Structure 1
């Protein structure tokens, strides 16, 4: 799977209007909801949504009600990478002081993950879990959330390889902070502890083990 890149410079004015509507909602919107909010014809709207999804600015989510038939699609806007990181860190600081650093046993014992960053990542993950409420299976929800946030995940059993880092420059400079955000993100989306994260310096990605 190739890394997903966000390139809003390639968005037309009409697509930007649809994308702004998605971001303003802050949750997945169905085609019908978007039609009501934008006033666009469904066929025109579908074309804009296809382009927005292809450009990596939004994700298409299948909402299954448990019955038969084709799933209903909804669309969720992607946040700019550094805006999402800033919000995660701010949320972590708002949640109060840490009780101590969180060492990652898979890494060098001298290296620790920043606890405030992990709390922030968890808050980010909890928000995504709420937005993806239609996806009941925890593993499927984690994969969708990681793809939505630009990590290009590949699953094998209980291990998920993240082939891309949407905030790679920050990860290179502050790995203990950024890796902690990623770990908290997965915990928040999954709604459980027991998640382990192992950076892969050879590929600048990482590997996540789910409980």
Structure 2
């Protein structure tokens, strides 16, 4: 069962979603840039960045300067690629795979479709992240879907999809990239009911 407290999730905060969206759109941003774009107090931005870093959603590096002055810290969204890989996210992926392997040994009759070990480990990482984010994911290994309905982060039944959805899809793609394997996040399946949320996975290159 998923957590009943999505408020504890890093993506439950609109401000953190806004910051993540900015970093996903353009990496290597400074705190000053994020303050200007969000209108938040610098200390508030720092707190959000720390939370996002602790959860493995962003990475930072020190600016290389050729002129005098104190180097600034540059922030980027963790993509799972070598140049933007989070050690926190890597640890979570490894631990999720270990727990998934243990569960499959205990419950050998679980239907895993025709998924290979790498694909199973990618889904292990996705499922653990989704549970931590307040969802109750249901995996269909044949259709390569993860059903999150009803959306734990949608306040009203008539809410339209928001930036949060796009940010979350990008986060999930970073997780499967970090885990390694042939699966990628294709996006969300179209739905008439805004509370319906089904993630479509596919084998092959990531959707652009």
TM over 0.5: no
Higher RCO (CA 8 Å, separation ≥ 6 residues): 2
TM-score of Structure 1 vs Structure 2, range by shorter chain = 0.3 to 0.5
Normalising by structure 2, we get a TM-score of 0.37
Normalising by structure 1, we get a TM-score of 0.36
